[in-house]
Amino acid sequence: MTSATQTQPVRFLKGHGTENDFVIVPDPDGVLDLSPAAVARLCDRRAGIGGDGILRVVRSAAHPEARHMADEAEWFMDYRNADGSVAEMCGNGVRVFARYLQRAGHARVGECAVATRGGVKRVHIAKAGTGSPEGDVTVSMGRARTPDDEVTVAVGGRSWPARHVNMGNPHAVAFVEDLAHAGDLLTEPSYGPASVYPDGVNVEFVVDRGERHVAMRVHERGSGETRSCGTGACAVAVAAARRDGTDPAATGTPVSYTVDLPGGRLVITEHPDGAIDMTGAAVIVAEGTVEPALLAGTAAD
């Protein structure tokens, strides 16, 4: 791999899915070595480009972690969190990644596959004007687990029962009367029992907006309140379906919930076999090059 101290500028794009934003770095041959520090600098909202993470675009055959998926998906989403740490998957990130593939001519309207550390994700790109001006993108999010744990979350002296939903990461979903009751979600809500979530938990606060239509706020562990959380929206839809008696496994009928987040709207559909689809907008907003000094950490203060 080429060192992040290379002398040539690196091309990037900026995109978001319901305001969950990412720096996209095309690297088809897998030659660019982005260190954790370089990723953190790119994601810095004051001194870098700014983003919730990095989507490095690599051919599956060119990446050692993805070669075994190359027959199913040509492109691998090498996702990094804003702090530079490696992550398995990001639902909103997959939608933005697919939009980049379409923009670059690597994917067309219809079905495509994206390799991730969490496996191959199936994606559907809708035609322009379907759902959003660019066309919505749907990604298969896998299946939820709903353990029968009795959980409570609390903020500012108020407490609520919550449903434990696991989407590959843990969620505690609480239905409340007013989203303002969630208070300042930059501060982590308290929850219990602690033994249910030994590694922390994402906490969703949810209100009803209409039939199969909810709104939510979320505190993501380690990040505070965020504008959007794809797995959180899926967890909320699953919890709402169980509450409303519309569990597809019991009814034999798919169920969809519209979920409003601070950053936009997602539609979550759960099928009788438990498979969950997430649909929403994905937008590319900018394109340019990064100066090598930023990646190397030698940019002037």
β partners of residue 284: 15
**Active-site residue (options: 43, 112, 229, 234):** 229
- Name the active-site residue from 43, 90, 112, 234: 90
Based on the residue annotation, tell me whether 90 is a catalytic residue of this protein.
Answer: yes
2 assigned ligand-binding residue: no
Does 166 count as an annotated binding residue?
Answer: no
Is 17 annotated in some ligand binding site? no
53 annotated binding-site participant? no
- The annotation status of 202 as a binding-site residue, yes or no, is yes
Provide the pairing of β-strand 170-175 with 202-210: parallel
Residue 20 marked ligand-binding: yes
Q: Is 230 annotated as a binding residue?
A: yes
Is 134 one of the annotated binding-site residues? no
How many Cα atoms within 13 Å fall on the side-chain side of residue 15?
A: 26
Residues making up the binding site for substrate:
20, 81, 91-92, 169, 202, 220-221, 230-231
> Looking at the annotation, which residues are catalytic?
90, 229
